């Protein structure tokens, strides 16, 4: 049922109650009711009712005030693209108020001055804290050294891991090991040691009581003391004959005195090999770390320090099989059985010699 039909019925009912009965024909009464309904509808809706002329003007665009699609879209969105672009340009630079990004030159000057002062104060506080911390720390000796109380152990040559595998009859398989050892022992040459370091009395600590910043002397560790593993008599360090030399050294610890007055020494064992004919030769002095090379005073004041090393030459090794070897540094106060750390006081490596 249409809206006009509904309004017509309402108007007809209204006229039936308020108007006096009309003693006229049925056709005349219908015409009067229709006119009354139309008048009531027009008064209720006002100008919202479109006449045929109005509809023709809207469709045919004969009227002057016709709304275009662009204006309808701009009305729905609030602003057109031209207005948005114009507002953005005005935000960047407003020539009337002389504002850049919404601020005048005075406003920009004040805010930049504020942040300059803020960050200057922060930088000053940080510098003051850093200066206070540095004044309490010695550049020569760490204040707290209680967590580094046991030496770590490592080997040379060390090329990508703790497995040394080669074929004695093929030079290409062991030449890189030999080159690495020559580079490692270069600073231990007797001629270099004679210029930089001094001869010391063996069997006792070389303690130097000097000013904290004064340079310490270093004892000579000559390459010739390594004998068969010095690389002088045999430049291949025994690798060409299937008798390789492997060097073991302890890490440097400032102020560390190993052995508590007793000379530390190195021992090795073959893991998973109960019976073996292999022999190990230790250099120098049967694989000992002489006390004269301790303590170490740090790289800033102990510049020419030469860390002591022990050379191990392996003979009659089992061929074409990987052999696991564990070497330990032994002495009073040296822990070499820490399960969680396999490099503290000991080292495990694999030696694989092929034929």
What is the greatest pairwise CA distance in the chain? 152
Question: Is the bond preceding residue 157 a cis peptide, omega within 30 degrees?
Answer: yes
Domain ranges of the chain: 1-34, 79-137, 153-198+221-288+305-354
Question: Contact, 197 vs 217, CB < 8 A?
Answer: yes
pTM value surpassing 0.75: no
Distance from C-alpha of 140 to C-alpha of 303, rounded to nearest angstrom: 12
Terminal C-alpha separation, the chain: 108
pLDDT band at 81 (very low <50, low <70, confident <90, very high): confident
Contact criterion met (CB below 8 Å) for 306 and 197: yes
Q: pLDDT digit string (tens) for 234-254?
A: 999 999 999 999 999 999 999
Q: What is the dihedral of CA 139, 143, 149, 150, to 10 degrees?
A: -10
Task: Say what the pLDDT of residue 250 is.
Answer: 94
For Cα atoms 180, 229, 187, give the angle at the middle one, nearest 5 degrees.
55
pLDDT for the residue numbered 266: 96
157-170: per-residue pLDDT in tens? 998 889 999 999 99
Q: Does domain 153-198+221-288+305-354 have CATH number 3.60.20.30?
A: no
Q: What is the pLDDT of residues 272-329, one digit of tens each?
A: 877 888 999 999 988 999 999 999 999 999 999 999 999 999 999 999 999 999 999 9
């Amino acid at each position: 049922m249409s809206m006009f039909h509904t309004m017509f019925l309402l108007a007809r009912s209204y006229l039936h109650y308020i108007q006096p009965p009309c003693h006229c024909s049925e056709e005349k009464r219908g015409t009067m009711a229709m006119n009354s309904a139309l008048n009531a509808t027009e008064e209720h809706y006002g100008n919202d009712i479109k006449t045929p002329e109005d509809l023709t003007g809207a469709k045919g665009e004969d009227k002057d005030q016709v709304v275009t699609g662009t204006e309808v879209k701009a009305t729905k969105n609030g602003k057109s693209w031209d207005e948005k672009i114009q507002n953005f340009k005005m935000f960047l630079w407003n020539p009337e108020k002389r504002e850049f990004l919404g601020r005048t030159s005075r406003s920009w000057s004040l805010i930049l001055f504020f942040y300059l002062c803020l960050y200057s104060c922060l930088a000053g506080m940080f510098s003051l804290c850093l200066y206070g911390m540095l004044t309490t720390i010695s550049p020569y000796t760490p204040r707290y050294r209680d967590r580094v109380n046991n030496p770590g152990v490592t080997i040379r040559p060390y090329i990508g891991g703790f497995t040394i595998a080669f074929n004695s009859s093929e030079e290409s398989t062991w030449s890189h090991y030999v080159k690495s050892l020559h580079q490692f022992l270069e600073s231990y040459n007797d001629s270099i040691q004679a210029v930089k370091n001094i001869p010391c009395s063996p069997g006792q600590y070389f303690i130097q009581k000097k000013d904290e910043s004064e340079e310490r002397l270093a004892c000579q560790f000559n390459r010739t003391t390594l004998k068969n593993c010095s690389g002088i008599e045999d430049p291949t360090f025994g690798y060409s004959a299937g008798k390789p030399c492997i060097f073991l050294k302890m890490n440097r610890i400032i102020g560390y005195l190993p052995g508590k007055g007793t000379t530390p020494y190195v021992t090795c064992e073959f893991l998973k090999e109960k019976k073996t004919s292999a022999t190990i030769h230790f250099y120098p002095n049967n694989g000992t770390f002489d006390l004269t090379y301790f303590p170490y005073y740090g790289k800033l004041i102990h510049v020419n320090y030469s860390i002591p090393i022990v050379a191990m030459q392996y003979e009659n090794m089992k061929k074409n099989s990987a052999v696991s070897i564990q070497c330990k540094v032994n002495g009073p106060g040296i822990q070499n059985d820490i399960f969680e750390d396999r490099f503290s006081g000991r080292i495990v490596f694999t030696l694989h010699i092929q034929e």
